[in-house]
A and B are shown apart, each in its own frame.
Chain A
Amino acid sequence: MEITSFYFLCFYALILPVYYIVPRKAQWVILLASSFAFYVFAGGNKWLIMWPVSAIAVTYICTRCMGETSSARPGIRRTSMIFCVTILIGSLAVLKYMKFGGGVAIPLGISYYTFILTGYAFDVYNGIAPLEKNPAKLALYGLFFPTVVSGPIVIYRNDGAQYFAGHSFDYNKVTKGLQRMVWGFFKKLVISERAAVMANTIFDNYTQYRGAWIWIGAVMFTIQLYTDFSGCMDIVMGVAETFGFKLPENFRQPFFSKSISEYWRRWHITLGVWMKDYVFYPLLRSGLFMNMSRNMKKKLGKKAGKQITTFTAMFILWGAIGLWHGGDIKYVIGSGLLHWFYIVIGEVTLPFWKKVLPAMHIKMEGAGADLFRIIRTFFLVNIGNTFFRAASAGDAVHMLGRAFTTFNPQILFSGAFLSLGLDWTEFTIFAVSVVILFVVSILEVTPVKSRIAAAAAGEAVTACGGKSVSADGSSGGTIMTVRDRIARHRIVTRWLIWFALLFFVIIFGEYGPGYDSSAFIYAGF
């Protein structure tokens, strides 16, 4: 049961009214029962639910041991923590990467619930998360049906309380949630499915293509991946919002990033935050790295010493991010170490550019330089995504070789796009939709200058994770989500816009036979 499927919508339409009819104290029980039902029906083999249930049980027992042991006995706390993390990460590693016995079924959402539970265990150990004493409540936290398949990777100390607090029906939140779901369906069904057709044509037959053709394939896959994953997140956040939840955002217009490190603060944000809090920081704070930092600084000087230590820790971090995506070397390169390489090269060559560019009278500041950086970052990300999508790392290298050695941009102006599996009408629908997405993305980062906007700012910030730029700040306005911008219009205009989008999705959405669109890419991790 994909969350874009007809069955999911029926399932959801059943739960929502029940959720608001039952007493508020019992709402979380409804969510827990729904989450169990969802997991059993969504995952194929219903017995696979034993994996997350066991993970929750282990987490529960270990965190109780940690939470109720006085801090005077750090040994027990530490042993419980190590045991818990070993079991959780160990089962992830065994099931995902060892593939022992050939074809052991992987439980749905294992990469997500494992991280969600591990983070909670670490936080209880560090004394910064409240201890959950009710195992059923911890089960809801780990199995919550909107987040179990593809995240976001929630953090108990920030997001946990809302799971069990009663939520009274709020017309505003429910409609905003539904609007966000429609927007997610638009990204997934209208854009992503079409981009996939073109990306598949190139990637599945890459030996027939060279130069710009390969780049078209890479860009189409990047569009496919972004609209697939962020569309999925819009649906997840939208569903959660209709239940009165505010989950952490996973995307903030990643393709407007001016550097690779900025890109990773805007793309799959919750994974980056998790890796930072539970891998990168503890690594840098470990005795080993502290000593290394001290020794390197003595030997190589302050700056180089610091860089070597940080780059080493980052290598482990990016290796882990790559591995999280899958055991294949193509993920370790394309979603991991290649990005590490980009960041290291960027840092190491920065002093050189700072000297050379002014000497060549090239400005490092301003709109032109920013645009150059954005395009460069997008290009680098596309190289990584070529690894991600290609059948193997070898294929990706071969493809990129073909891409770099032929210069044929003229094909872009001779109808190349129409030979990749979409006819003229289909391609027009795709192109128009991408333009709509682009305009909406621009609007989401453009401050609104008006008193009404300033008044709505508080609302805007809570509604969609929008960032409020202080009214007296340099940007002189407020960042508002497009949903909030639309909400400022008259009711007729508002409904016209949302119904137009809804019908656009219904008419042009590619839901395929049986109203079951293709699976979300990130649900496979």
Chain B
Amino acid sequence: MTRGEIFNKLTGVFRDVFDDETITIGEETTAADIDGWDSLEPINLIAAAEEEFGVKFSMGEVVTLKNVGQMVDLISKKLSA
């Protein structure tokens, strides 16, 4: 799967989790950029992404993720492994 495809799929996950069809995400998108993405939502987001892509993140990966770009990198790495 290319980065672009991962991004598209991930956008769908974001829209679904935050219940907002207008969300667009980029490499640098972080918690501060999306309304409601405070300390509660990242976990739901990660669970949803795991389900969507059929991958599993470790606790270490979860707490060190800084932005969407890193998440895409991680998913891409896991998919090609």
Contacts and interface: CB of A to CB of B under 8 A. Distances in A.
A282 B59 contact: yes
Interface residues of A, number: 22
B60 interface: yes
A280 B39 contact: yes
Contact of B62 (A123, A265, A281, A310): A281
A284 B43 CA distance: 7
Contact of B63 (A262, A272, A277): A277
Nearest to A303: B19
Interface residues of B, number: 14
Nearest to B64: A128
A126 B39 contact: no
Of B38, B44, B47, B59, most A-chain CB atoms within 10 Å:
B59
Contacts of A310: 40, 44
Contacts, number: 40
A315 to B, nearest CB: 13
Given A126-B58, A281-B63, A272 B39 contact: yes
A25 interface: no
B59 A281 contact: yes
A290 interface: yes
A310 B36 CA distance: 14
B60 A293 contact: no
Of A128, A261, A282, most B-chain CB atoms within 10 Å:
A128
Interface in B55-80: 58-60, 62-64
Interface in B14-53: 19, 38-40, 42-44, 47
A126 B59 contact: yes
Contact of B39 (A128, A261, A282, A303): A261
B74 to A, nearest CB: 13
Given A265-B39, A276-B39, A303-B19, A123 B60 contact: yes
Given A127-B60, A285-B62, A306-B44, 17 more contacts: A126-B59, A126-B63, A127-B58, A128-B60, A157-B64, A261-B39, A262-B38, A265-B38, A276-B39, A280-B43, A281-B43, A281-B62, A281-B63, A285-B59, A293-B47, A310-B40, A314-B40
8 contacts: A126-B60, A126-B63, A127-B60, A157-B64, A261-B38, A265-B38, A281-B63, A310-B40
Interchain residue pairs A-B with the least CB separation, the first 6: A126-B60, A128-B60, A284-B43, A277-B63, A126-B59, A276-B39
